[in-house]
Structure 1
Amino acid sequence: MPFLVAAVVFVGLLCLFNLVLTLGVLRRLREHTAELERLAGGSMLMPYDPHVLVGRALPETAAGARLVGFFDVGCSTCHERAPQFADAAGKQPALAVITGDGAKVADLVAVVGGVSSVITGEEAGLLTHTLGVEAFPTFLLADQEGRVVAAHTELAELTATATAR
């Protein structure tokens, strides 16, 4: 019987040691995660650089557009920036590409549809994939030949880049 009691006490102490060790590891993991998020600016994802689109040719579906805006219905920032795009599009040939489906497509089309051409549905997804757009909203400025000369996720930055050229 004393051997049985000793074995139960030993297993209990071993479990207690394991619990303390596991809690220590979890605490260190939280500290490392917080430090990595701080270093990454609060995001664990690599930032998207829209400048990789500069120099690409616009497909025929976007031919003639000087300003192209890519929007997604699930993106709250897209809904916020759509009126700015509509204002800028009123001054030049423009194209709005809206990906996604549902009632929110109609909301975005209502905002940008009056002053620019709009592509939605499967064709919008194909155009987005063809150009390699990975973030929404993304805005492109094209020259007369249909080559992208400037790209940015902020419309104000795009127009500032265009005026600097």
Structure 2
Amino acid sequence: MDWNDRFAASGVGRPGPPSVLVGREDVVPTTGRALDVACGRGTVAVWLAARGLAVDAIDAAAAGLALGRELADAEGVSVRWIEADLDDGLPVGPAYDVVVCQRFRDPLLYPAFAGLLAPGGLLVMTVLSTVGDTGGRFRAAPGELRAAFDHLDVLVDEEGDGEAHLVARLR
């Protein structure tokens, strides 16, 4: 799949929280730093920036980042957009108060996600899952996120309908 083609055809999105946070937005701080990994069109990154966070957003698809820039401009917020291939790892930098990753799964990066969190930092992840769906190489096994982040304080751990969601805080 060519993500640039897919994003170019999809158009600018609307800012919004990750689906697992709908109705739980109060767990997200309104100050500090946030990282949106595999940000796509940047709808979550712009939502985080509108909440008051300083946001870095990373994706490999230039077309998605361009749509994110357009959305951020329309919403009057600032986001630092980073084009990078996550197969090369996550960027090294300062700790984040919030790290979000939606529908990108690479278990080899799970330790890096936790390592990017500041003390008390919030991790928000959604990956495709075999729970309630068929298998496949991009889908997590049951309990994968919980097991990978069992050293964090888990606030939400949900699996079903082909997705696994985790919201956790660094102790």
What is the TM-score normalised by the length of structure 2? Answer: 0.32
RCO higher in 1 or 2 (8 Å CA, sep ≥ 6)? 1
Normalized per residue, which structure has more helix?
A: 1
Q: Rg larger in 1 or in 2?
A: 1
What is the TM-score normalised by the length of structure 1? Answer: 0.33
Normalized per residue, which structure has more strand?
A: 2
